Structure formats: structure tokens, C-alpha cells
Chain A
Amino acid sequence: MGRRVAGGQATHVVNNRLRELRAAQRWSQADLADRLDVSRQTVNSIENGRYDPSLPLAFKIAQVFARPIEEIFRP
């Protein structure tokens, strides 16, 4: 199951390991955003569970971390 993150008053379920994988690479959110060609805010939103990426972006994330998509995103 995903972990819950409080953002303001809302609580979001994080069903991905993006933050953990990014930290393992010692990348900042901006570094990852540049690799994915998205804004830093988008990386932050995905990490906090506020935004679910499209399938093409999810595949790009998997490609950047060289891992299968199901290792990064959980249902």
C-alpha cells in the first residue's frame, strides 16, 4: 500500500517510489525534472501523490531509473 502524505489539509496516498529512487541517485527534484523534461513542480506533485503521471511519462520515469514500471508505481 502507498504511504499517506499530508499536504495542507488534504491527505494524499503516495503509490510510487519516486522520492526514494531519486534520493538513491542523489538527484534533486530539478535534476530529475530536467531528465524527464517536466517542471520541478510536476516531480514534486508526483512524489507527494497529488498527481498521477500519464502512461508515457510513467514509462519515461521507468527508463530514467532503468527499472520496470511496476517497481516504481504501485496500484
Chain B
Amino acid sequence: MDTSNHEHRRSVSDIARKRSASRDLIPGLTILIVSQMSLISLDPDASDGALNLAWALSPLVGIALLVWAQARILARSDERERAQELSAMAIGFAVVVSALAAAGVLQGADLGDARQQMQITTGLGIATWVAASLVVKRRTS
């Protein structure tokens, strides 16, 4: 049996965790992508009936499922992975809060489009989370 430091075979629990993570992420990602694509291409009028309103809000279902999937991934991860992920999330959260505060100030001064600022805040938060995750993993792995 290979006992060298350089063997990169994943453990059985690694493989099981990866598979479960994929299984959990697929429904949320699918709903989010399909609903966003349909909204972008067909642009329904949310004020025109309950069905259109539900359609306009449908990405929220995908987002809720992704949050649920992320919570399950965190619950399954081991202590080192959880510490890394929570550190990255904390940095992402700090950036989101700062961006929201900046957007609030801009809106108070009637500057810029609120929808665009929310989109930028979301994108910035996710990008920071991913970048922080990579940096933290590199430092402690």
C-alpha cells in the first residue's frame, strides 16, 4: 500500500461527500438557471396576474435550494474544511455588508440604479467568497 505523502487518492468519505454535494447543488442550480434564462428571454410583466408574479419570483426558489445545499455541504464537511469555508463566508459577508451600506448611501443621495447596485453587491459578495475560499484553502491545506 502506498504510504507516501504524494499519493492523491481521495478517501471514501471524500468521494461520498463530493457526490452528495453535487446531488444537493443540482436542483437549485437547475431551477436558478432555467428561471433566469426564461425571465431574460421572455421578460414577463410581474404586475400582470399571479402566474406572472410567481414566474418573476421563481429564481428565489433556486436561491433557497442553493442555500439549503450549502448548509448541507457545511454540515457534512470535516472540521478543517468547515473552518476554511466559514472564514471565506465571513469575508464575503463583510464585503456584502459594506457594499450594501455604500448602496444605501448612494440611494440616499439619489445616485445610480438600485437594481444594478443590488446585482453588483451580489456579484461582489460571491466573487469575494470564492476568492477568499481559494486563499484560505491555499494557506491551510
Contacts and interface: CB of A to CB of B under 8 A. Distances in A.
A53 B9 CA distance: 21
Given A26-B1, A28-B7, A44-B141, A39 B17 contact: yes
Query: How many interface residues does chain A have, given as a range?
Result: 20 to 34
Interface stretch (B62-70, B78-86, B88-96, B109-117): B78-86
A44 B115 CA distance: 45
A40 B14 contact: yes
B140 interface: yes
A63 interface: no
Given A38-B80, A39-B17, A45-B140, A33 B3 contact: no
Nearest to A5: B5
A39 B5 CA distance: 14
Nearest to B8: A40
22 contacts: A19-B5, A26-B1, A28-B9, A29-B7, A30-B7, A30-B9, A30-B10, A30-B14, A31-B1, A33-B11, A37-B78, A38-B11, A38-B80, A39-B13, A39-B77, A39-B81, A41-B14, A41-B141, A42-B79, A45-B140, A51-B140, A54-B79
